[in-house]
């Protein structure tokens, strides 16, 4: 199933997701370092990373929702997509509550916000796995006819265009 929201021939959702995941994961790491070594500057940086990660996550969610709405009802992909979406909404909520709890003192988050971040980080790993299941196992957001020698997405040619040549070449290699 091809993505419905594309930029320069690529699905937008997977382009955007590394940013919130990286920001939120780094915020958690910075907060853990702060707990161990009492580094207030890292806790303050984590506070702003959480805000940026939530904004990025909400933006990525818009494009993920567009793609999810295009998945046919009654399919495993639709169910897994809903679980992927739900887990990531909870991730954003957990980090959002952690951010709100520390807004009066960003350089000293306390233990509870960090516990929320840990829960969010664990759930983000599950949500990421579900996203991988959608793309790698079920082909959601993958161009029809995709193959190892497909033309560039910038060429405006279909991915399946050169598939016959690849098949012929593959059969020659084996002989």
Q: What is the pLDDT of residues 107-130, one digit of tens each?
A: 999 999 999 999 999 999 999 999
Rounded to the nearest integer, the mean pLDDT of the chain is 92
Distance CA 129, CA 111 (A): 27
Q: What confidence category does residue 21 fall into, taking pLDDT thresholds of 50, 70 and 90?
A: very high
| Residue from 94, 31, 83, 30 nearest 57 by CA | 94
Same domain, 113 and 63: yes
Residue 175 has pLDDT above 50, yes or no: no
Q: What confidence category does residue 168 fall into, taking pLDDT thresholds of 50, 70 and 90?
A: very low
Same domain, 68 and 150: no
Yes or no: say if 4 and 66 are a contact pair by the CB < 8 Å rule: yes
Same domain, 109 and 162: no
Same domain, 77 and 153: no
| Number of structural domains in the chain | 2
Predicted TM-score (pTM) of the model is 0.88
**Lowest-pLDDT choice from 29-33, 62-66, 94-98, 163-167:** 163-167
Q: What confidence category does residue 166 fall into, taking pLDDT thresholds of 50, 70 and 90?
A: very low
Same domain, 32 and 62: yes
Q: Which domain holds residue 115?
A: 6-142
Q: H or E stretch including 6? A: strand 6-7
Tokens at residue 89, please? 């909404």
Same domain, 87 and 16: yes
> Mean per-residue pLDDT for 139-162?
86
Q: What is the pLDDT of residues 24-61, one digit of tens each?
A: 999 999 999 999 999 999 999 999 999 999 999 999 99
Between 39 and 2, the higher pLDDT residue: 39
- Predicted pLDDT of residue 79: 98
Distance CA 67, CA 61 (A): 10
- Predicted pLDDT of residue 153: 87
- Predicted pLDDT of residue 115: 98
């Amino acid at each position: 199933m091809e993505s419905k929201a594309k930029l320069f021939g690529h699905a937008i959702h997977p382009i955007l997701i590394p940013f919130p995941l990286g920001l939120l994961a780094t915020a958690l790491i910075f907060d853990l370092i702060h707990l161990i070594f009492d580094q207030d500057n890292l806790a303050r940086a984590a506070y702003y990373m959480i805000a940026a990660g939530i904004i990025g996550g909400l933006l990525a969610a818009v494009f993920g929702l567009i793609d999810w709405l295009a998945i046919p009802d009654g399919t495993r992909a639709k169910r897994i997509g809903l679980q992927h979406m739900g887990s990531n909404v909870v991730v954003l909520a957990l980090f959002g509550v952690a951010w709100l709890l520390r807004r009066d003192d960003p350089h000293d988050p306390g233990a509870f916000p960090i516990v929320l971040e840990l829960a969010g980080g664990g759930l983000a790993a599950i949500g990421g796995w579900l996203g991988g299941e959608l793309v790698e196992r079920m082909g959601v957001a993958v161009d029809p006819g995709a193959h190892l020698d497909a033309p560039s997405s910038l060429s405006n040619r279909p991915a399946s265009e050169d598939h016959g040549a690849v098949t012929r070449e593959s059969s020659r290699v084996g002989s």
